[in-house]
Chains A and B, each alone.
Chain A
Amino acid sequence: MQSDDRVSRTLKELAGPISSFRSALASAVEDVRGILSTWRSAQSDSGEQRRAELGCFAAGRIDVERFATLLAVEEAVDAATVARLEGIFDLLSDLADQKDGVVRVKVEPGAVLRDAVAAALGRIGRAFGAARVVGLSRSHRYEDSLHQRFLREYPYALWSSSERQIAPPLVVEVAGQDLRAEGLAEFLDGRQKIVLVAQGKCPPAPLARLVSPGVFVVQAAEPVALAAFAAYQGPGIAALVPESAALFTHDPQAGARSWDRLKVARLPQEDAVIRLEGLSASWQRECLRQLQEIATAPPAPAPAAAGAASNGPAGAQVERLAAWLLKRADLQGL
């Protein structure tokens, strides 16, 4: 599958949230470097580190060995801990070096989208896992049997609420026919954003079933349409879809009622459904119909109560859908 320039333009749109994650990562790399260099210089009293730190101006002017011995000796640490931290330093630097690559995923044709996303988040999550291990090591609470696995994979299910807030967006290239997004609901928490770049033909409303009150959902043709999505301080999912598909935006901040939030820019004819293996035409049609229904205000809106809206047929459906999603995404106790 060739990567297209929508991916790079998407990355540009998401520069804000990506850079918050990357700078937290960079800070962590520097934190670990700092811890390591104090530990290392405490371990071996080599003047090399000290000499380097003093810079070239010191050459010939400062007796670096003497300088090194005079500085207060810091606490000693065992070699295994230093080695573990070195591993973490490499891991974090590696993630930092991947730049935007860290947030890009390509789903092999025929693979399960949900699993690919889960694996990618688990990979990114190693940054959080590593940070935890650093904390545990510093406070002498680290245990191999419990914590070592955090460095191999740190699945989304284990992420704390603050980690979910800072998680980077994921940009996923996926073949249109593999675009089964329902399974992604469990990852739409905190500020997690997922952008699916659909290649080739795809169902007309693949994200319709993810619309729920607090989730920003967009189907768009072009990455420029993602600005508000990127800025939203909550979870969101977007799909960049071809001509044939529906274009819509569900912006949780746009109002209390589902038809205020959901703006449909283009709704293909119900017969615009395509032939896709495993996705029946009637199911695709059902998705379109759902979209239409959520987006439509009831004919005579009760002027008094916004709460009454949820009693309307569309409102009821949204509520039900939301309840279902919340149940699936229930992350309490993690």
Chain B
Amino acid sequence: MSGPEYSLLDGDVCADERHLAIEDYSSAVPRWCPGCGDHSALGAMQRLLESEQLKREKTVFCSGIGCSSRFPHYLKTYGFHGLHGRALPVATGIKMTRPDLHVFAIMGDGDCCSIGLAHWLHAVRYNVDMVAMLLDNNIYGLTKNQTSPTTPQGHKSNTQQQGSFLPPLNPLTATLGITNCSFVAQTADWVPAHLFQTLKAAFHHQGFAFVRVLQRCPVFTAGIYQDAVRHPDNVELLTHPAGICDPDAEGLYKNHISHDPADLHEARRLAEGGNGKFRLGLFFRDASRPRYNETRALPKYTAEEKIEILNAELDRYAV
């Protein structure tokens, strides 16, 4: 709060002090298909905004293009619904110049892991303070059923009608492999309480908090998460006092893995999966990693001071 961009006028003397309800954070009526996992992610997000009482005018949701990227339109905050794959650069520019804002980036799997891959990788490395949520339905939804980088091998789509040719990209191991990674969690749309707790932990993390949400798309990838939805045995919950604690999920899922989120090595091993089970929880957190928005923060000067500095600069070039 006392970061270099803080102005004395940011003291919220005239701000709306009334308690905001969930409805106060809602905007347009979501246009997602019935049963779409994005509804649940939106609900959890609204709950987060409400429980944290975030100032609506101080909150910005950035997104790319996709079904998932419609997200900002359904929230009564500021938003930037930009280009396919490019939510993160915009979010980075916002947070770097306005550290007083709460910044969220919402992406689809095509958005984040295909066209926006360079930005994803570098955003993890920059570790700019924000929440990045990947709504992973394993398919291109908006453009109607094309293979995405996370589509399971063999899954048929309009572009790969014989079934996806390649093994899917694993967003968790990818993120955990990137230098300066500071927060990686996985949750799922069908466990809203866990989703909420995960978002909450991500919000409170200082740095780039990457949350992958396993998101059902009943229209194009109806089957893919059903094993986990129907049979809680197929889910393994990462639990730890320093991790994400959600009694609901702990009651529902009997398979618990006690995992200390400080352990990057173990996080990578667990993220690898391999036993066909879905692992939910906090894989890794390290709040001590340097944050680019802070590394690059500079003191501010008045117009007159700037002129003084610039005049000194011109002196160097004086004839």
A-side residues, CB < 8 A to B, are 19-20, 22-33, 92-93, 96, 127-128, 130-132, 134-136, 138-139, 141, 160, 162-163, 165-166, 191
Contact = CB atoms under 8 A, between A and B. Distances in A.
B302 A29 contact: yes
Contacts of A163: 11
A39 to B, nearest CB: 15
B8 A128 contact: yes
Contact of A162 (B1, B3, B14, B305): B1
A128 B303 CA distance: 20
Given A128-B11, A131-B8, A134-B9, A165 B2 contact: yes
Contacts of B3: 20
A135 B8 CA distance: 10
A20 B4 contact: yes
A19 B14 contact: no
A313 B5 CA distance: 46
B2 to A, nearest CB: 4
Nearest to A20: B2
Interface string B1-40: 1111111110111100000000000000000000000000
Contact of A28 (B7, B12, B13): B7
Q: Which of B3, B5, B9 has the most CB of A within 10 A?
A: B9
Q: Which of B1, B3, B7, B301 has the most CB of A within 10 A?
A: B7
A55 to B, nearest CB: 14
B10 to A, nearest CB: 8
B4 A31 contact: no
A27 B1 contact: no
B9 A26 contact: no
Contact of B9 (A19, A20, A131): A131
Contact of A166 (B2, B9, B14): B2
A132 B13 contact: yes
Nearest to B9: A31
B251 interface: no
A30 B8 contact: no
Interface in B257-300: 298-300
Interface residues of B, number: 21
| Chain B contact residues: helix, strand, loop or mixed | loop
Contacts of B7: 24, 27-28, 30-31, 131
A164 B303 CA distance: 26
A165 B14 CA distance: 20
Contacts of A138: 14
Contacts of B301: 23, 26
A23 B4 CA distance: 6
A170 B97 CA distance: 29
A165 B8 CA distance: 12
Given A24-B2, A24-B6, A24-B7, A30 B13 contact: no
A165 B13 CA distance: 16
A109 B7 CA distance: 36
A25 B305 contact: no
A103 to B, nearest CB: 15
Q: Which of A25, A28, A96, A141 has the most CB of B within 10 A?
A: A28
A30 B300 contact: yes
B318 to A, nearest CB: 18
Contacts of A127: 8
A132 B304 contact: no
Nearest to B3: A20
B8 A96 contact: no
Given A19-B299, A93-B302, A32 B9 contact: yes
Given A20-B2, A162-B1, A26 B299 contact: yes
Nearest to B299: A23
Nearest to A134: B9
